[in-house]
Structure 1
Amino acid sequence: MDKLRKMAVFARAVELGSFAAAAADKNVTPTIVGRHVADLEAMLGLRLINRTTRSMEVTDAGQRYYHGCKTMLDQMAELEQDVADRKGVGPSGIVRVAAPEGMGTLLMDAAESFQKLYPQVLFDLVFDNDQTDFVSAKVDLAIRLAISLEDSSLIVTKLTDTRLSLFAAPSYLESYGVPTTVQELDNHACLAFGGSRFGDSWPLLTKTGLRKLRQPWRMVINQTHIYREALIRGMGIGLLPEIMALDLVEAQRLSQIYLDDSFPDVGVFGVYPDKAFQPHRVRLFLEHLRTTLAGNEA
């Protein structure tokens, strides 16, 4: 236990950038912080932190040791919380989730309903369309949309399926008509989502298989909420996962367009690090999210 205490003090010194700040955080003196770091260095036979009276610099060995310490300390805290949860105390702590910003409303709905069941659980929600770096972002769970998703370094579980489909504002379709074939799209303003993993094309599912459909895009937009807004304003036709557009269809702000050819289904995946211990609160929320998304697709 004494060694774990030294590791915790060392980790805080690295995170806060000074012995004095770590001392204040741990309610000890800077001298004790220095002694704990020195004890670890003596045990390892390595310099972890180069320090002067005015500054400190973490060595390469110190950085590696810090990441190992952080992983171990986090897993111990999660294990203690998991044991407490199973004793009937109830889950608590923070669930950090990263998701495409087009999933914002759905994810907030799931978090809100989850907190009604488990009010001691807090959420840190990060919305972006990039691949998540679990280490730097300190994320417990990421939501990704893809036709297929394989990553040997991560655990991947499918939450639901949703179909890609074309949408446009009723006002646009009243002015320009409703296309029924791919060829008729040439006579329409088509908007591309610049953050798509499909690049500058739409994946079209034909009788002969999947092919790329490219149009002279009237506009390319890389943020989902702006993309949806452009469609609502009647600026053109766009491709979205149905799960990101059904609320607007129900509100009659967008209409779904059906062609002779169709677009493929995409999976909504939950992705998390392949680590030995996953907090009970994260497992509970993952299953709650699966149920919530399935209900939205029903």
Structure 2
Amino acid sequence: MDKLRNMRLFCRVVELGSFVRAAKDQNVSPTIVGRHIDNLEKSLAVRLLNRTTRTMEITEAGRRYYEGCKRLIDQIEALEHSVADDPSTLPSGIIKVAAPEGLGTPLLLDAIESFQHIHPNISVDLLLDNNPTDIVGETVDIAIRLATVLEDSSLIVRKLTETRLRLLSSPRYLERHGSPRNIGDLRHHDCLNFSTERYGGNWPYLSNGKIRKFNTDWKFVTNHTQTYLDAISRGIGLGLSPMIVARSLVQSGEIEVVELDEELPDVGVFLVLPYRDLIPKRVSLFADHLAQVVKQKPEADV
């Protein structure tokens, strides 16, 4: 039991970034927190945290230990909730959410704000990154992913909604270069790509009901959503984007949808959880809340 207490305190120190904040969170003194961490390090015979009077830095061993502790503690909490299921017990703790940065505002902020009005004792650590997140290795509780197809048997996948994929341009670009009518015409246009790949990857489109791939010498490639949309709105070139990300710029008239003869596939918005026998109650509550927020959004917003 003392080991579990030490592990809980260690996790709070890592998550909150200091002994003082962890002590306040747990309603104990920083000295007691330090004593528990010292006991933990002695029992493991390894340094978990490098600290001075002003700074604290987690070691590589400490990072691995934290990831294991978090998984274990989450499983214990989920087990306790599944057995007790006491409605008078307020859910608490931290939920780590990873998502593409283009979904941070307003979709996720709307959901987080309304969720925390209902569950004020639950904190959210939101990681916005367009690179694929290793949700198991980075101990992420929930990940949001945009994909035409998402298959991974090692993950729990829940489809929240679909968003239209559209070819976009600024009115200025179309005035100068004209509007393409089909995929073949795109080879005579300046095309911009949003991609985490160095040279841009490809654009999907539908032909005879199957997804095909279009590739060209991209005029500009970036993995940052706002920069990508800014480049389209400046007239640097044509870009492909899910409407859930670009909707506000289309509604304002800064960019417009370019219709092609070929159809473009819809993009699924997926909620992904690491596979666990027991999911912490706070995580399942947020997953259900996010699904409800998305369901209630007007169709025009996705």
Q: Which bin holds the TM-score, normalised by the shorter protein?
A: 0.7 to 0.9
Q: In the aligned structure 2, how far is the partner of 1:50 from the partner of 1:90?
A: 35
Shift in alpha-carbon separation, 1:283–1:263, aligned structure 2, 3 A? same
Q: CA deviation at 1:237?
A: 0.7
| RMSD across aligned positions (CA) | 4.0
Report if aligned partners of 2:67, 2:138 keep a CA contact under 8 Å in 1: no
Corresponding residue number in structure 1 for 2:193: 192
Q: CA deviation at 1:250?
A: 1.5
Q: CA deviation at 1:109?
A: 2.1
Q: CA deviation at 1:169?
A: 1.5
Alignment of 1:112-261 (within 5 A): 112-195=113-196, 200-207=201-208, 209-261=210-262
Q: Which amino acid is the alignment partner of residue 124 of structure 2?
A: F
Q: In the aligned structure 1, how far is the partner of 2:198 from the partner of 2:270?
A: 15
Q: Number of residue pairs matched? A: 283
Q: In the aligned structure 1, how far is the partner of 2:246 from the partner of 2:174?
A: 17
Normalising by structure 2, we get a TM-score of 0.75
Report if aligned partners of 1:82, 1:279 keep a CA contact under 8 Å in 2: no
| Displacement over 6 Å in runs of 4+ | 9-16, 21-24, 32-38, 62-66, 81-85
Q: In the aligned structure 2, how far is the partner of 1:123 from the partner of 1:97?
A: 7
Deviations 1:197-217 (A, max 9, x none): 995221121126222111232
Q: CA deviation at 1:10?
A: 8.2
Corresponding residue number in structure 2 for 1:27: 32
Shift in alpha-carbon separation, 1:35–1:266, aligned structure 2, 3 A? closer
Shift in alpha-carbon separation, 1:14–1:264, aligned structure 2, 3 A? closer
Q: Which amino acid is the alignment partner of residue 49 of structure 1?
A: A
Corresponding residue number in structure 2 for 1:100: 100
Shift in alpha-carbon separation, 1:88–1:234, aligned structure 2, 3 A? farther
Q: In the aligned structure 2, how far is the partner of 1:14 from the partner of 1:162?
A: 37
Q: CA deviation at 1:239?
A: 0.4
Q: CA deviation at 1:140?
A: 0.9
Corresponding residue number in structure 1 for 2:56: none
Say which SS state the counterpart of residue 114 (structure 1) adopts.
helix
Q: In the aligned structure 2, how far is the partner of 1:13 from the partner of 1:246?
A: 40
Say which SS state the counterpart of residue 164 (structure 2) adopts.
strand
Say which SS state the counterpart of residue 240 (structure 2) adopts.
strand
Q: Which amino acid is the alignment partner of residue 102 of structure 1?
A: G
Q: Which amino acid is the alignment partner of residue 76 of structure 1?
A: I
Q: In the aligned structure 2, how far is the partner of 1:215 from the partner of 1:233?
A: 21
Q: In the aligned structure 1, how far is the partner of 2:121 from the partner of 2:229?
A: 34
The gaps in structure 1 that reach 5 residues or longer are: 42-47
Corresponding residue number in structure 2 for 1:72: 72
Q: Which amino acid is the alignment partner of residue 94 of structure 1?
A: I
Deviations 1:145-187 (A, max 9, x none): 1122122222111111123210112222233332222233233
Q: Which amino acid is the alignment partner of residue 227 of structure 1?
A: Y
Report if aligned partners of 1:163, 1:266 keep a CA contact under 8 Å in 2: yes
Report sequence identity in percent: 47
Alignment of 1:4-83 (within 5 A): 4-5=4-5, 25=30, 27=32, 48-49=44-45, 68-77=68-77
Q: Which amino acid is the alignment partner of residue 267 of structure 2?
A: V
Q: In the aligned structure 1, how far is the partner of 2:85 from the partner of 2:253?
A: 44
Normalising by structure 1, we get a TM-score of 0.76
Say which SS state the counterpart of residue 27 (structure 1) adopts.
helix
Q: In the aligned structure 1, how far is the partner of 2:91 from the partner of 2:9?
A: 27
Corresponding residue number in structure 1 for 2:55: none
Q: CA deviation at 1:90?
A: 4.1
Q: CA deviation at 1:142?
A: 0.5
Q: CA deviation at 1:284?
A: 2.2
Report if aligned partners of 1:160, 1:267 keep a CA contact under 8 Å in 2: yes
Q: CA deviation at 1:78?
A: 5.3
Report if aligned partners of 2:77, 2:280 keep a CA contact under 8 Å in 1: no
Deviations 1:100-123 (A, max 9, x none): 112121212222232333333322
Shift in alpha-carbon separation, 1:185–1:94, aligned structure 2, 3 A? same
Shift in alpha-carbon separation, 1:137–1:264, aligned structure 2, 3 A? same
Shift in alpha-carbon separation, 1:178–1:10, aligned structure 2, 3 A? closer
The gaps in structure 2 that reach 5 residues or longer are: 52-58
Q: In the aligned structure 2, how far is the partner of 1:288 from the partner of 1:232?
A: 34
Instruction: Answer with 1 or 2: which has the greater Rg.
Output: 1
